[in-house]
Amino acid sequence: QEAAKYEKKVMVLDFVTPTPLGNSWGLGGTCVNVGCIPKKLMHQAALLGQALQDSRKFGWQFTEEVKHNWMTMTESVQNYIGSLNWGYRVALREKKVTYENAYGEFVGPHTIKATNKRGVEKLYTAERFLIATGERPRYLGIPGDKEYCISSDDLFSLPYCPGKTLVVGASYVALECAGFLAGLGLDVTVMVRSILLRGFDQDIANKIGEYMEEHGISFIREFVPIEVEQIEEGTPGRLKVIAKSTKGNQIIEGEYNTVLLAIGRDACTRKIGLDKVGVKINEKTGKIPVNDEEQTNVPYIYAVGDILQDKLELTPVAIQAGRLLVQRLYAGATSKCDYVNVPTTVFTPLEYGACGYSEEAAVEKFGEENIEVYHSHFWPLEWTVPSRDNNKCYAKIICHIQDRERVVGFHVLGPNAGEVTQGFAAAIKCGMTKEQLDSTIGIHPVCAEV
């Protein structure tokens, strides 16, 4: 869309290869269809369930029994997504960007073959190319995984309530999904191979796990599934999961209605003909290394988003990188995407917002004696009346002592963590120090003032 502003002739190819279970979706990519958007809406549905409980303590009265209807929620969510798909189609048309619902792959220098749903092929040439094909969920590679398990690609449009669910994985996707499914009243178990939220601050990751356990989610630690069998067909059916310990020979079995795999995502780079044009990819991960101007080793081919090596897999990063790239190419701008201090939020039942270094990373980078960690538990005012979870919310900042106690890491665990963290991320971008933080007056009474 940015490129079209500069009156360049632009084409977008978008195609969704159906999931093993046959699921597909419209224009917009992962975020809109099977990522951030439906995730946050379902997380909101779960939060509203909690709000219902709280509201009784605040004087609201209604019948004791309150049930959640999966179909009502999913329909609303899908309708909204549909409106976004449509919105994109309209926007592209208005900006005169040619859109083809076809699978693109390189067949030679400057040339792409586009194959649509019906198998019709067309060839296109362009001066420059931008690869932004993103990723898809990984499967375990065990018997029964593709036949019987679902992934996040399927969850948000599942035409029936998933029922008793086993979530395999400890990524933020796994924990977020487990979190909202439990919040909607479902029986949820999470099977974790080793640690939670790899790459995130582990102190906080453990607090998140603890909170989820205290709120009814079971965790099976240090096990991996080795087989999934179908006991009974249905919507949902019944599945048997056999799992092996990572620390010995112990085998366990469990029965679930749904098994959701959330063990990672793989870049969609292996089948788009990159070898035909000489674009190097990391053979192991499939990701594309680029320079700080998002250029691949082939000068006229660029890449942005989840497929980039060593960059964050986040929507706003992809958007920013894409926009700035185009401004550099066609508007003479020089700004590069700033990948440092990118804030992020994990929308688990207890939300976690972070910007900058985790405590471990800070210790590694600066040395333990050179950092100071200030921390505090806090109790959101809104949780006092319903007597909820005293002393679970937590905030910490990590400061670099030598550099005027500059804040190099910000972490907050509590409600509306995303809203809280955003502004602090801006402040960190301005080089905020502990002193400046201390001298800023708090807004009272909010969580962020802690």
Partner 1 sequence: GKSEYDLLVIGGGSGGLACAKEAAQFGRKVAILDYVEPSPQGTKWGLGGTCVNVGCIPKKLMHQAALLGSALKDAQHYGWNIAQPVHHTWPVMAQAVQNYVKSLNWGHRVQLQDKKVKYFNMKGSFSDPYTIRGLTKAGKETIVTAENIVIATGGRPKYPTHIAGALEYGITSDDLFWLKESPGKTPLVYYPFILHLYEIIVYISLTDASPDVSLECAGFLTGIGLDTTVMVRSIPLRGFDQQMASLVTEHMESYGTKFLKRCFPTKVEKLESNRLQVTWKNTDLGTEETDSFDTVMWAVGRAPDTETLNLEAAGVKTNSETGKIIVDASEATSVPHIYAVGDITEGRPELTPTAIAAGKLLAQRLFGQSSELMDYDNVPTTVFTPLEYGCVGLSEEAAVQCYGSDNIEVYHAYYKPLEFTVAKRDATQCYMKMVCLREREQRILGLHFIGPNAGEVIQGFALGIKCGATYPQLKKTIGIHPTCAEEITKLHITKRSGLDATVTGC
Token couple for 21:
């279970």
Nearer to partner 1, 274 or 407 (CB): 407
Which range of residues in 122-130, 139-147, 277-285, 335-343 is near partner 1 by CB under 8 A? 335-343
Q: 3-class SS at 203?
A: helix
The DSSP-derived string for 393-416 is EEEEEEEETTTTTEEEEEEEESTT
Nearer to partner 1, 58 or 300 (CB): 58
Residues contacting partner 1: total by CB under 8 A: 84
Query: Of the candidates 129, 172, 366, 424, which one interacts with partner 1 according to CB under 8 A?
Result: 424
Measured CA to CA in angstroms, residue 6 lies from 3, 97, 300, 301, 337 at distances of 6, 12, 18, 19, 19
Pairing of the two strands 265-267 and 135-137: antiparallel
CB of residue 155 vs partner 1: minimum separation in angstroms? Answer: 15
CB of residue 311 vs partner 1: minimum separation in angstroms? Answer: 11
By CB under 8 A, tell whether 448 contacts partner 1.
Answer: yes
d(CA 373, CA 378): 16
Nearer to partner 1, 37 or 196 (CB): 37
278 is in an annotated binding site: no
Q: Residue 68 catalytic?
A: no
Query: Of the candidates 314, 350, 362, 371, which one interacts with partner 1 according to CB under 8 A?
Result: 314
Q: 3-class SS at 85?
A: helix
By CB under 8 A, tell whether 126 contacts partner 1.
Answer: no
Which residue, 343, 319, 336, 305, is CA-closest to 432? 343
By CB under 8 A, tell whether 224 contacts partner 1.
Answer: no
Which residue, 190, 149, 148, is CA-closest to 173? 190
- What residue type is assigned to position 365 of the chain? K
Token couple for 167:
């979530």
Q: Which of residues 19-78 bind partner 1 (CB under 8 A)?
A: 28, 31-32, 36-37, 40-41, 44-45, 48-49, 51-52, 54-55, 57-63, 65-74, 76-77
Nearer to partner 1, 196 or 428 (CB): 428
Nearer to partner 1, 27 or 212 (CB): 27
279 is in an annotated binding site: no
94 is in an annotated binding site: no
172 is in an annotated binding site: yes
Query: Of the candidates 116, 315, 327, 370, which one interacts with partner 1 according to CB under 8 A?
Result: 315
Which range of residues in 197-205, 224-232, 316-324, 368-376 is near partner 1 by CB under 8 A? 316-324
Number of C-beta neighbours around residue 81 at 10 A: 21
d(CA 145, CA 66): 34
Listed in sequence order, the residues at least 6 apart from 342 whose beta carbon sits closer than 8 Å to its beta carbon are 312, 314, 316, 317, 355, 425
CB of residue 9 vs partner 1: minimum separation in angstroms? Answer: 25
d(CA 360, CA 379): 26
Query: Of the candidates 100, 187, 227, 419, which one interacts with partner 1 according to CB under 8 A?
Result: 419
Nearer to partner 1, 141 or 445 (CB): 445
Number of C-beta neighbours around residue 226 at 10 A: 14
Measured CA to CA in angstroms, residue 58 lies from 55, 66, 350 at distances of 5, 17, 21
171 is in an annotated binding site: yes
Which range of residues in 163-171, 248-256, 315-323, 363-371 is near partner 1 by CB under 8 A? 315-323
Query: Of the candidates 376, 384, 390, 402, which one interacts with partner 1 according to CB under 8 A?
Result: 384
By CB under 8 A, tell whether 430 contacts partner 1.
Answer: yes
Listed in sequence order, the residues at least 6 apart from 303 whose beta carbon sits closer than 8 Å to its beta carbon are 130, 131, 132, 288, 290, 294, 296
Based on its alpha-carbon atoms, the radius of gyration of the chain, rounded to whole angstroms, reads: 23
By CB under 8 A, tell whether 390 contacts partner 1.
Answer: no
Q: 3-class SS at 9?
A: coil
Q: Which of residues 84-123 bind partner 1 (CB under 8 A)?
A: 84, 87
CB of residue 433 vs partner 1: minimum separation in angstroms? Answer: 8
Three-class DSSP labels, 325-363? HHHHHHCCCCCCCCCCCCCEEECCCCCEEEEECCHHHHH
* Known binding-site residue numbers for FAD: 40, 104, 306
* Known binding-site residue numbers for NAD(+): 169-176, 264
* Known binding-site residue numbers: 40, 104, 169-176, 264, 306
Give the residue numbers marked as catalytic. Answer: 444
